[in-house]
Amino acid sequence: MERRVVITGLGLVTPLGVGVDETWSGLCEGRSGIGEITGFDTSAFSTKIAAEVKGFKAEDFLPKKEARRTEKFIAFAVAAARMAVENARLTIDETNGPRVGVITGCGLGGLHSLELTAHTVQEKGPKRVSPFFIPMLIGNMAPGMISIHLGAKGPNISVATACAAGAHAIGDAYHTILRGQADAMITGGVESVITPTCIAGFNAMKALSTRNDDPQQASRPFDRDRDGFVVGEGAGMLILEDLEHALERGATILAEMAGYGQSGDGYHMTSPSPDGDGMIRCMQAAIDSAGITCEAIDYINAHGTSTPLNDLYESRAIKKVFGESASQVPVSSTKSMTGHLLGGAGGIETSSTVLALKNGIIPPTINLENPADECDLDYVPKVARKADLTYAMSNSFGFGGTNASLVVKRYAP
């Protein structure tokens, strides 16, 4: 009999707060986590705003000496993983450590360290480079450090598929348990790249919002006046478990993983296909994987980046997949509040989707004043909505045309 995979724990570090309760309350309140960038001087930049994590202290989750030398994205990942394990009441020790794995997604890794080290080499020479530079740079140190700190010695993998990385990591962790290679997985996404080179690079592409005078209104998915996305940072981690393993230890089950779809656009480096072909096949694959029809989906947590092309093409794709019922399916973008966490997006958005199922509340799409042409779905504008949800889908689409869709369902024994 095929294994069933359930979600038993969540951990969140987001621009809305450190912890699940803080983030969820922010989403339900329709609160924006976007403000002026505080980490560097933005006077020469077109974009001066981002969704930064506030009030995070690495020493709350790592030994003080180690916290000082740990790259921010790694600290976020370890913190969210610790919260998720605690939330799941999962004990990891020598007896089960080899059956607990870690798969996380990250798009860009340690840009903070890269920029500082490049400056050091130029100004002071190569001998002044820290021996911690490479470990702080590479994306796989997120799952690596989670494994070291929590004792999870099963499969240990880092996924780097741009803005789909977190969702791909969760889907791959799901498949790892289905294949019997682990009983539990710590999985999700992380990113922290609010740095000069990142903002300058996305500005050069004209991808970012420049609504600097009104940061909290800047991320406005599906709105006529959207002008680009807002970079966010943070981490979202989930505990996935084999159902029998979870029941045996008396775990509280938050939701069940039901389906996972993947596809590639094969179209353009940064733009989705105008006809939404890759998105369509990805969503349909997730629905098929769950063994349901599109009519069973009660809510879609959209990729919804607040960029002109993504919002339009994703809306077209949803209409193609759901046909006449598309207008009846609530669709919202939590990026309107958290900004876009790039490789970390799938982690916090899948977590948000699980919380929506558990609490019967759909987070809103804030700042949606005037829907754009062809963006005519039910985007749950401005205010959260109570709803009876059984199945929900979360979409993540990345540069290079890499796509992931996850279907989660309300758990029923």
Q: Which of 28, 163, 294, 375 is catalytic?
A: 163
β-sheet bridge partners, residue 12 = 236
| Token output for 398 | 């990345």
For 111-158, what is each residue's pLDDT tens digit? 999 999 999 999 999 999 999 899 889 999 999 999 999 999 999 999
Identity (one letter) of the amino acid at 328?
Q
Of 173, 190, 137, residue with least CA distance to 348: 190
In degrees, rounded to 5, the angle at the alpha carbon of residue 174 between the alpha carbons of residues 240 and 280 is 125
Average pLDDT over residues 321-327: 96
Helices (H) and strands (E) in the chain, counts: 13, 15
CB atoms near residue 8 (< 10 Å): 25
β-sheet bridge partners, residue 231 = 340
CA atoms within 13 A on the CB side of 138: 10
To which residue do tokens 């004792």 refer?
151
Q: How far apart are CA 210 and CA 285, in angstroms?
A: 36
Q: How far apart are CA 166 and CA 103, in angstroms?
A: 9
pTM > 0.85: yes
Strand, helix or coil at 135?
helix
What is the topology classification, in CATH, of domain 261-409? Peroxisomal Thiolase; Chain A, domain 1 (3.40.47)
Distances (CA, A) of 98 to 27, 251, 390, 412: 36, 19, 33, 29
β-sheet bridge partners, residue 397 = 403
Average pLDDT over residues 263-267: 93
Please state which of the ranges 5-14, 28-37, 262-271, 321-330 shows the lowest mean pLDDT. Answer: 262-271
pLDDT of res. 61: 96
Q: Any catalytic annotation for residue 294?
A: no
What is the topology classification, in CATH, of domain 5-248? Peroxisomal Thiolase; Chain A, domain 1 (3.40.47)
Between 275 and 409, residue with greater pLDDT: 409
- Dihedral angle at the C-alpha atoms of 251, 185, 314, 273, nearest 10 degrees? -160
pLDDT level of residue 413 (50, 70, 90 thresholds):
confident
Q: How far apart are the first and last CA of the chain?
A: 15
Q: How far apart are CA 225 and CA 153, in angstroms?
A: 48
Identity (one letter) of the amino acid at 410?
R
Q: How far apart are CA 62 and CA 64, in angstroms?
A: 6
Instruction: With a cut of 90, say whether residue 2 has pLDDT above it.
Output: no
> Torsions phi, psi of 86, nearest 5?
-65, -45
Q: How far apart are CA 182 and CA 208, in angstroms?
A: 40
For 203-238, what is each residue's pLDDT tens digit? 999 999 999 999 999 999 999 999 999 999 999 999
The alpha carbons of the chain give a radius of gyration, in whole angstroms, of 20
Q: How far apart are CA 360 and CA 299, in angstroms?
A: 11
CATH 3.40.47.10 maps onto the chain at 5-248, 261-409
Q: How far apart are CA 295 and CA 279, in angstroms?
A: 18
